[in-house]
Structures are given as structure tokens and as C-alpha cells.
Amino acid sequence: MAGSPQKRPTTTFEQSLAHQRLVRPGPAGRATSESIPTEQCELDSRSAEMNTSSATMTTFALGRGPAPLQHRAWYRPMVVALVLAGCGTSSPPSSPTPTPTPVAVCGNARVEAGEECDDGNAVNADACLVTCQKPVSWVPGDVHVHSTGCGGYISPEALKARLMAQGLKVGAALVWGEGYADDELFFTGRDHPVSTPDFILHYDMEVSHFAAARAGHLVLLGLDSLRFSDDVFERPGSNVAVVDWARRQPRAVVGMAHGEYWPGDGSFPVPPGGCCTPWESVVHMARGRLDFLSLERVPSGEGAIDAGSFRLWKATQNAGFRVAIAGGSDLGCLTRVMSDDTPRTDVIVDGTLTYDSWLQAIKAGRTALASGFGRHVNLRVAGGRLGDEVRLPAPQDVSVTLETPGRCRPPSKCWSTARWPRAPLSTPAPS
């Protein structure tokens, strides 16, 4: 590119069916590209999902990365844009080829169709990325902590301090069967008084140690009441009625906890089993009443998600059910001391952070299951945001953009790695 640095158009597809083209930031913020040969018309299953007559994609993100916020010296976003070429059989056109519709030119300092912004420069570390998209705002939080835990107690003030020490901005403190009478006093349907503009502590409910929890533990957020029956300890005997009760509350978001207890070998759990297996999760999914599945523990070495949670959640996606993935610590029970590997939920929140905006983002699927600060990837498909559905009317080229936080000491040594079938790609951040 000649003259002053400009953004490379990301809406023009230049590769043949036998190539994928990587568009990446180069030295001094300039866009460079390289062609990566692939085998003609041989796409693996993940690529083939994008070449269908009517495809629906629900995007998600998992991540691992370096140290938490308090140990980090520098932070900036990086963007990798991929263009995936569809592959199919050719046939003579049945009608003349229509005149191409003019496409937006990213980098001309004019916001055009399909662009969220265009500031005319090749810098990511501002309010407009080199892809002419606005960087998202991630809010790290925990969907599952307790004041009264398994034989212990953590005051609201101590909960706030422990969560903020991990860089978290939202904590859902769940009232449950153990200590119900004491913790019920903290529930008001509003943020707890220890909340501040930069941290929210809100008491809600886990259906655990009640008769209804025999088939799994519900995580109910945004409730107006905790009294799902006249005797919550004895009635009902199933979570189905509890979910219906929660759904009648306008703000409620319904989750199922402990995906880590689902078998990781592909089998269906055999009753009676032990504590916490999310038996009824498939029932709530099939009824369209489950918003998210959470996991609270990951065995060492398995990354951000365990095999059981991934199998259950992936089967849900493949069956066409839109259920977000989330992470919680279960602080007070499964977790006594939080660490950099403790599961958390990073959520894309638009505008001002409130408990309601956080809940609505979870319900919309704008979540990343993460362990540690900043371990997430924002994925856009054909301009669709994380959690959106992208419907393809016919086989066509699909633009995929990955946005991930970068850390560098010094900034000039910052790298991000994007992985796609057949080709691991290392991409330097713009200076």
C-alpha cells in the first residue's frame, strides 16, 4: 500500500476456490496478506458447516492466556480477519450474471453499509478496529458463588473483595438449601449495597439441597422472588415446575450448573449417579427454557472446558438449541481458593454495565467461557456478532473475524495466534 497507512477492504473476496486468504496487520500497522493453499473442494466438517443451503451459526469462545489484570502491564486488541471460500459443484448459470453491488471500502474515513465505524487509520488501539468494527467491551463475572457454602461462610464484603481480586466485575451470589434462612435475608431482587459503579454483587438462587434438585441444579438469575413453592424444601419433586415458575418472572435467566458431571466418554449418565449431574438439562433445552449451561470445575490440563461439559453443550448446539456456555467458581463449595484457572464467564455488554444488561447479554449468547483474565476470543461471522444467528441462503464465501486481547512487554513484541483447520497462523499485532 502506498502513501499513508490505510485499512485494507475486508469485504472483497479475492481468492479462488482452492485457496484461503489471510488478511493480517503487518509492520507499522499496514495490512498484508498471504495465500494458504488448501486441497480443492476438500473441506473438513467444521469448514463444511459454513457451506450449506440454509446454515445457522451460533458463535462462542473459549480461551486461556497469561496472568490476571493486576499483573499485566499492557493491554490492546488485535484482529485477524479470515476469508473462507465455499466449495461446491459448478453449473451453467440459468440467467445473466447481475451487476455487482458496490461494496464498502474500509479505511476511507466514511461509514458505509456493513461498517460499524471507519476512522481512516490502521490502528486497532482506538475506538475503531482495522476491520471497521468497534471493539467489544468484555465484562468478566462469576455466575455461581455462595455466602454460605459447604460448611463455611463468606460475608458480602468478603465476597466482593475476593471476586475483585480476580479482576471480576459481577458476582451472582446464590442462595441455596444450606444456609437458606440466613442467606435469604440478603435477597432483595436488587444489587447488594456493597455494589459500586465498577463492581456488582447480586443475590439470586441455586436450586440445590431441595427436593426439586434431584435431577440437577438450576442457577436462576434475575429473580423477583425465591419462593417457588409453599415448601421449597419438599415441593416440587422436579425442576420442570421451577423453571416454569422462574420464566414467569420478566428478568429471569435460567441456567443449569455442573456440566462437568456429565460423562466425558459420550455416554448418557446412568441413574441414580452422584451429586449434581444435570439430568434434566436436556428436558429444559428441548422445551426451549434453558439459557445457559455452566461448569464449575475443570480437571488440570483440560483447558477452559472439561470433556463432559463440552460434549453436552456441543450436542445441544448440533441439535439446534441456542444455549450459551458459562463458567462459575462455586466459591464456598467446589472452590475454596480462587486461582488463575478458576472458571469464569466473560460477557460482551453494550453500554452501561448493570446486572440486567449483564443478564440480557448472557441470554443473547454473548458469552465466553474463560479461565483467567482476558482469555477469550470475539468471533464474528459475516458481520454477525457473538451469539447471533447467521443464515446463508446458498453456498457462498464467508468472512470470519477473530478479535482477541493482546499483551506485550514491550508492545512491539505482541503476538496473537489464530487456529483454523489445516493451518495454524501466527500474526503480529500492528505497532
Each residue's pLDDT expressed in tens, for the chain with a length of 431 residues = 444 444 433 332 232 222 233 333 343 333 333 333 333 333 233 333 333 322 333 344 444 343 333 333 333 444 444 444 343 444 555 666 766 667 789 999 999 988 899 999 988 888 898 889 898 889 999 999 999 989 899 999 999 999 999 999 999 999 999 999 999 999 999 999 999 999 999 999 999 999 999 999 999 999 999 999 999 999 999 999 999 999 999 999 999 999 999 999 999 998 777 789 999 999 999 999 999 999 999 887 777 899 999 999 999 999 999 999 999 999 999 999 998 889 999 999 999 999 999 999 999 999 999 887 777 888 899 888 899 988 899 999 988 888 877 553 433 333 232 323 323 323 333 33
Q: State the amino acid at position 12 in one-letter form.
A: T
Cα separation, 352 vs 371, in Å, equals: 24
pTM: 0.74
Cis omega before residue 428 (within 30°)?
Answer: no
The domain segmentation of the chain, as residue ranges, is 19-62+77-87+105-135+396-428, 138-380
Q: Closest Cα to residue 154, out of 336, 339, 343, 345?
A: 336
pLDDT at 186: 98
b/e map of 156-186 (b: 16 or more CB within 10 Å)? beebbebbbebbbbbbbbbbbebbbeebeeb
Superfamily of segment(s) 138-380: Metal-dependent hydrolases (3.20.20.140)
Tell me the three-class secondary structure of 49-88, residue by residue. Answer: CCCCCCEEEECCEEEECCCCHHHCCCCEEEEEEEEECCCC
Is 216 within 8 Å of 256 (Cβ atoms)?
yes
> Residue 39 pairs with which residues in a beta bridge?
none
Please give the grid coordinates belonging to residue 356. Answer: 440486567
Rg (CA), the chain: 23
> Residue 140 pairs with which residues in a beta bridge?
346
* SS3 state of residue 143: strand
Q: Is the dihedral of CA 13, 14, 18, 20 positive or negative?
A: negative
pLDDT at 148: 96
